[in-house]
């Protein structure tokens, strides 16, 4: 990538960082993407699955096609970086690097428009609502793969702590499935001095919380990975009352869908046992989030080859993360690969979802180059 394009992308990225928009509210971000695509001479369709934009670049006579995806939304976090391009919207910031992902896909569009060495069709998917808003599913439901045919799809996430510009390609799973956990415990309220006349949902909740922690240690194969975490407990309004209801909320993560099913069944079994033991009712809801983000073998190898062709450092030894990524929904529809590109050191709080995080503009050439390169590699078949 030449210096002028890198400087342009840096300017675009910092504009997006200064003007973040939350999940399902990416109107101005989408308009910015559309304006930049128009400048590049790339045709696009807006309003796909909400604020999504799909741009299409075709060249030559090949009927092969491929998709590249970037996410656009920000998080409800107050930025503390002190950067000159820091968020201008208090309580909203790009704490996960989606501003960089969007910009690098625009960079890939610029590179592909300049390059006459390839033939086929590349669909550039600018996705809204990745942070729990179901953006991938919304775009699929709006006919993404029917309206914009693609044989495979590729994407990436920046990764703090991995050397800047290094690309990690996982053999299969790169990120975990994600389910929410909601427990509603209904007992019988009464005076705190007369507990024998009550059915205490708080005691039941405490036992449920502890029992849930045995799932990973005593029900999941030690060679598999799983997480069950309760992050919220709510009950009671008076210190001298046993409340009638309690609520617990949390999350579960697994790296294999079969393990996800096993953990769900165990949660229901434990909740039923605790309810019977303490004479309370426990309603369990486990809304399923994204499935496991797992690379398919052929596309994984294409991604690795594209990294090497681009002269970037390739890592094949990184363990997957228990974070979730709704790119997984695309992989349920089409083969593909989702890689990590190093963002550099994570010291000083520069981790994902941290208020001091910032995307590293120095990796824009590597990210754009990888995206353009893997698209060309996929079109070769």
Instruction: Please determine, for residue 257, whether its predicted confidence score (pLDDT) is greater than 90.
Output: no
The token duo for 24 is 């399902």
DSSP conformation letters of 198-215: SB-HHHHHHHHHHHHTHH
Is there a contact between 127 and 52 (Cβ–Cβ < 8 Å)?
Answer: yes
State residue 15 phi and psi, 5-degree precision: -65, -45
Q: Percent of the chain having pLDDT more than 90?
A: 98
Those residues whose C-beta lies under 8 Å from the C-beta of residue 115, and which sit 6 or more positions away, are: 372, 376
Tens digit of each residue's pLDDT (9 = 90 or more) over 222-244: 999 999 999 999 999 999 999 99
Q: How far apart are the first and last CA of the chain?
A: 25
Fold classification of 176-285 is Alpha-Beta Plaits (3.30.70)
Q: What is the average pLDDT across 21-35?
A: 98
Instruction: Please determine, for residue 381, whether its predicted confidence score (pLDDT) is greater than 90.
Output: no
Q: What is the CATH code for 3-172+295-380?
A: 3.40.630.10
The token duo for 303 is 């991604």
Q: How far apart (Å, rounded) are the C-alpha atoms in residues 128 and 32?
A: 13
Number of neighbouring beta carbons within 10 Å of residue 33: 28
Q: What is the average pLDDT across 98-127?
A: 98
DSSP conformation letters of 212-280: HTHHHHHTS-TTS-EEEEEEEEEE-S-TTEE-SEEEEEEEEEESSHHHHHHHHHHHHHHHHHHHHHHT-
Instruction: Please determine, for residue 247, whether its predicted confidence score (pLDDT) is greater than 90.
Output: yes
Q: How far apart (Å, rounded) are the C-alpha atoms in residues 118 and 263?
A: 46
Residue 202, Ramachandran bin (φ over 0: left; ψ between -120 and 50: alpha; else beta): alpha
Q: In the prediction, which pLDDT does 179 show?
A: 93
Tokens 């809304």 sit on residue: 287
Q: How far apart (Å, rounded) are the C-alpha atoms in residues 244 and 238?
A: 11
Cα 47 to chain centroid, rounded: 21
pTM of the model: 0.93
Q: What residue spans in the chain does CATH classification 3.40.630.10 cover?
A: 3-172+295-380
- Please, which residues bridge with residue 71 across strands? 127
Q: How far apart (Å, rounded) are the C-alpha atoms in residues 81 and 85?
A: 9
Instruction: Give the torsion sign (CA, 344, 348, 354, 357).
Output: negative
DSSP conformation letters of 50-93: TTEEEEEEEESS---EEEEEEE--BBS-------TT--SSTT-B
Tens digit of each residue's pLDDT (9 = 90 or more) over 259-317: 999 999 999 999 999 999 999 999 999 999 999 999 999 999 999 999 999 999 999 99
Q: How far apart (Å, rounded) are the C-alpha atoms in residues 119 and 62?
A: 5
Q: What residue spans in the chain does CATH classification 3.30.70.360 cover?
A: 176-285
Instruction: Give the torsion sign (CA, 347, 348, 349, 355).
Output: negative
Tens digit of each residue's pLDDT (9 = 90 or more) over 348-367: 889 999 999 999 999 999 99
The token duo for 70 is 């970037």
User: How many Å is the Cα radius of gyration of the chain?
Assistant: 23
Closest CA to 144 of 336, 371, 338, 333: 333
Those residues whose C-beta lies under 8 Å from the C-beta of residue 42, and which sit 6 or more positions away, are: 55, 56, 57, 109, 113, 124
Q: How far apart (Å, rounded) are the C-alpha atoms in residues 203 and 180?
A: 22
Is there a contact between 185 and 272 (Cβ–Cβ < 8 Å)?
Answer: no
Q: How far apart (Å, rounded) are the C-alpha atoms in residues 77 and 93?
A: 6
Q: In the prediction, which pLDDT does 278 show?
A: 98
- Please, which residues bridge with residue 250 across strands? 181, 230
Tens digit of each residue's pLDDT (9 = 90 or more) over 318-352: 999 999 999 999 999 999 999 999 999 999 889 99
Tens digit of each residue's pLDDT (9 = 90 or more) over 46-104: 999 999 999 999 999 999 999 999 999 999 999 999 999 999 999 999 999 999 999 99
């Amino acid at each position: 990538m030449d210096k002028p394009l890198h400087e342009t992308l840096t300017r675009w990225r910092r504009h997006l960082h200064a003007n973040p928009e939350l999940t399902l509210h990416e109107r101005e971000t989408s308009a910015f993407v559309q304006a930049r695509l128009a400048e590049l001479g790339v045709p696009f369709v807006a309003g796909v699955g909400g604020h999504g934009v799909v741009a299409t670049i075709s060249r030559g006579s090949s009927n092969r096609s491929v998709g590249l995806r970037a996410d656009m939304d920000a998080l409800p976090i107050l930025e503390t970086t002190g950067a000159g391009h820091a968020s201008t919207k208090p309580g909203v910031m790009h704490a996960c690097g989606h501003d960089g992902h969007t910009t690098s896909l625009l960079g890939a569009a610029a590179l592909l428009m300049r390059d006459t060495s390839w033939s086929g069709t590349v669909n550039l998917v600018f996705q809204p609502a990745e942070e729990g808003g179901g953006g991938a599913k919304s775009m699929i439901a709006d006919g993404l793969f029917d309206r914009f045919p693609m044989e495979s799809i590729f994407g990436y996430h920046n990764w703090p702590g991995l050397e800047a510009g290094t690309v990690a390609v996982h053999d299969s799973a790169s990120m975990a499935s994600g389910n929410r956990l909601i427990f509603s415990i209904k007992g019988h309220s009464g005076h705190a001095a007369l507990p024998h006349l009550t059915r205490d949902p708080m005691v039941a909740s405490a036992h449920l919380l502890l029992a849930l922690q045995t799932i990973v240690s005593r029900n999941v194969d030690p060679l598999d990975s799983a997480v069950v975490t309760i992050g919220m407990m709510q009950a009671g309004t008076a210190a001298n009352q046993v409340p009638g209801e309690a609520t617990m909320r949390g999350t579960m993560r697994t790296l294999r869908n079969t393990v996800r099913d096993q953990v769900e069944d165990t949660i229901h079994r434990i909740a039923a046992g605790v309810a019977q033991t303490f004479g309370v009712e426990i309603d369990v809801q486990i809304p399923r989030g994204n499935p496991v983000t797992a690379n398919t073998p052929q596309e994984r190898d294409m991604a690795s080859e594209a990294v090497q062709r681009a002269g970037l450092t390739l890592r094949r030894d990184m363990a997957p993360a228990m974070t979730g990524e709704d790119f997984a929904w695309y992989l349920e529809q089409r083969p593909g690969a989702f890689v990590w590109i190093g963002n550099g050191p994570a010291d000083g709080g520069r981790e994902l979802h941290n208020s001091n995080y910032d995307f590293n503009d120095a990796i824009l050439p590597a990210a754009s180059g990888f995206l353009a390169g893997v698209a060309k590699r996929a079109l070769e078949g």
